[in-house]
Amino acid sequence: MHTVVVGTSGTTAEDVIAVARGNARVELSGEAVAALGRAREIVEALAAKPEPVYGVSTGFGALASRHISPELRAQLQRNIVRSHAAGMGPRVEREVVRALMFLRLKTVASGHTGVRPSVAQTMADVLNAGITPVVHEYGSLGCSGDLAPLSHCALALMGEGDAEGPDGTVRPAGELLAEAGIEPVELREKEGLALLNGTDGMLGMLVMALADLGKLYTAADITAALTLEALLGTEKVLQPELHAIRPHPGQGASAANMAAVLKGSGLVRHYQEETAPRVQDAYSVRCAPQVAGAGRDTMAHAALVASRELASAVDNPVVLPDGRVESNGNFHGAPVAYVLDFLAIAAADLGSIAERRTDRLLDKNRSHGLPPFLADDAGVDSGLMIAQYTQAALVSEMKRLAVPASADSIPSSAMQEDHVSMGWSAARKLRTAVDNLTRIIAIEMYAATRAIELRHGLTPAPASQAAIAAARAAGVEGPGPDRFLAPDLAAADAFVRSGGLVDAVEGVTGPLA
């Protein structure tokens, strides 16, 4: 099994995916264990002094003015975990919780938190045992960390609360720890606070969204090319010289992808043989690289933000190399929240332009000779009429999900925490948006492949032929009389979601961007 070694200098997106989705094992490096030990010595020295130090010998948030006597400090750390584990609503997905736990361990291992090495090792042991704390949808404002979600994870380390075992059954966390031979942690000064103060949930969801969107943008370039072909459009707008004079990297990449898919097509520019030739294709076809390209560039910016956050140690207070323990605001989720919202906007626009292309394929007045709704016997058959309704409903929801969460702030903790990021909420809605975008692209693929097959006597591009053959082999049915359509759409969704569409096309074109 793949093993991810956690050191003091952060982690990578690939490691997050490996742990969250691939169940990779986690180990602490010797360097991390040594750094943990040094930072802990500093915290214990401060705890022994009479002067109050935030998070070590004081209360938290609006209660930070109270000095806590030594005999109450262990109770203080337990209490902050128990009281902050106040989430509500549906359970969060297993992969999100694993990413959250791993990223918290990443910061703990940096040596800037003052947590004992034994606590960090327990965090790794819980991940390796396949124990996943129950975390709820609601409870994070994305500031002072993803407090409630992280608290539910810390609660499980203490042997309290509920967790999902490796068999998928939810049981008391204490039972699962005992069966795995893991001793529950007994928190000491600062440790409870250090387990809660991070952007780990929103960051984990950002990393996974970027991985998923990277594949979806390639799939969207393919479906845009298929639609252009089905509409007998022109590929001349994809010439690299045109994109070189507006040198946005994403735009050039999308245009190159579409051109590669269309190479050798007998359908493109067929409009020149019509009695009423078109001068230009519609925006949804002609401007596909510009819209998808802008989304690609948005992803590049979001990936840069993610890489910086993955290299960060996010906690409050932090232990600095010179021995100071300083309060700070690095837990604020604004940098991550903004790009999560930005990605949702870009994804909504990509879904919107894909839906407009699908609608054009189904409209006999704009499809250049295709049957109404791509029906077998229009009037008797409705064809893909309601498939477009479904796609439109998904696009409508994506537009609502594109409303920024990070533009909102609700003060908390008696106005001590008076400006929050709402980054967790931005991440949660982005996950839904990515899911919907997959379905939208699948419906365009379903319509475009059917439309190409209805262009009798014309030869599609080799890459298009490969896409159609792979789709049909995957259970995505082709043209014919009306039938129960939901299973076809589900098969199309599964085909796109699995990467089957991209794999089929790349088998002809070679790797796409």
Residues assigned a catalytic role: 54
Single out the residue of 120, 87, 301 nearest to residue 201, CA to CA: 87
Distances (CA, A) of 82 to 75, 79, 136, 148, 163: 10, 5, 14, 10, 15
> Where are the alpha helices (H) located in 60-199, listed in sequence order?
73-84, 94-108, 117-128, 147-157, 173-179, 191-194
Give the whole-angstrom CA distance, residue 472 versus residue 488: 10
Q: Helices 288-310 and 334-362, interaxial angle, to 10°?
A: 160
**322: part of which helix (H) or strand (E)?**
none
Phi, psi (deg, nearest 5) at residue 164: -95, 130
Going by their DSSP bridges, the two strands 25-28 and 3-6 should be labelled as parallel
Dihedral-angle region of residue 383 (phi above 0 means left; psi in -120 to 50 means alpha; beta otherwise): left
Question: Which residue matches tokens 């979001």?
Answer: 302
Cβ–Cβ under 8 Å, residues 108 and 35: no
Cβ–Cβ under 8 Å, residues 280 and 330: no
Q: Which DSSP string corresponds to 58-86?
A: B--GGGTTSBPPGGGHHHHHHHHHHHH--
